[in-house]
Amino acid sequence: MPTTLTPAASKLILDYEVGGGKAYYEKKLLHPTWPGGASGVTIGVGYDLGYNTSTQFQADWGTRMAPADFTRLKACLGSKAATAKQLIAGVKDISVPWTAASAVFFALTVPRFYREAEGAFPGMDKLPGDAQGALVSLVFNRGASMKGDSRKEMRAIRELVPRGDLKGIAAQLRAMERLWRGKHLDGLIARREAEAKLVENAKGNTQTAPSRNDAPGFDPAQFAIPGMGGSGTMLA
């Protein structure tokens, strides 16, 4: 039977995408934001409109918001970085309730990024569940591209996963921190460190990639602890 992310992995992603859960979300992220860097206009739990297609946005959100709000946000699709920053003023009055944000995240976004992570890191399904979740968090935050110098640690992790080398994977996650040091992006450095620790401490059974139709394995509201938030900035 397919399952969802482990509680520890889910908590990690919620901590860094929405400050822990419902309480922080409703206080700080109820309206569209621009996290900075190469991000697009972002709604819900780290749902970046700059990196989603019209078809995907329709499937994920078409029935979860008013048609007028959907149309306005649809105009932000594909826009990133400075262009996206300029669009925020025109959509910041739109509210995306936690009920809709969490439903899209657990039922649609997590399964999609789980599959992307499995494609990026063949053999991931043989790792302990927490280690799988750390790599899902990585792909959720950075995407699955393996091209360029900024992705050399991603390529190294791809080679380490089939060997089950958890220590090596953790080391490569920390090595990525070079990309953000001195750039006022400490949230990204902290996220890589959290992912590395999750991998290092991973134990127990493997997880199966969640189905689009699976219900969440736990209540995200239990993790409504104010945290960093806003560190889900999409960067190379």
165-197 pLDDT, tens digit per residue, is 999 999 999 999 999 999 988 999 999 999 999
Residue 42: enclosing H or E segment and its boundaries?
A: strand 42-43
159-169 pLDDT, tens digit per residue, is 999 999 999 99
Euclidean distance between CA atoms 70 and 100, whole angstroms: 13
Across the chain, mean pLDDT equals: 87
Euclidean distance between CA atoms 137 and 140, whole angstroms: 5
- Please say if the pLDDT value at position 116 is more than 90: yes
Q: Are 228 and 16 in contact (CB under 8 A)?
A: yes
Residue 48: enclosing H or E segment and its boundaries?
A: strand 47-48
pLDDT of residue 128: 96
The verdict on domain 1-20+110-215 having CATH code 3.40.50 is: no
C-alpha 166, offset from chain centre: 21
pLDDT of residue 217: 36
Structure tokens belonging to residue 36: 């900075």
206 band by pLDDT with thresholds 50, 70 and 90: low
40-54 pLDDT, tens digit per residue, is 999 999 999 999 999
Domain definitions of the chain by residue range: 1-20+110-215, 31-96
* 37 closest CA partner among 137, 142, 177: 142
| Arithmetic mean of pLDDT, 196-225 | 55
Structure tokens belonging to residue 2: 């397919």
* 106 closest CA partner among 187, 29, 9: 9
Give the residue ranges of DSSP H helices in 1-109.
7-18, 22-24, 54-61, 67-74, 81-87, 98-104
* 48 closest CA partner among 79, 86, 4: 79
* 173 closest CA partner among 148, 201, 198: 198
- Please say if the pLDDT value at position 222 is more than 80: no
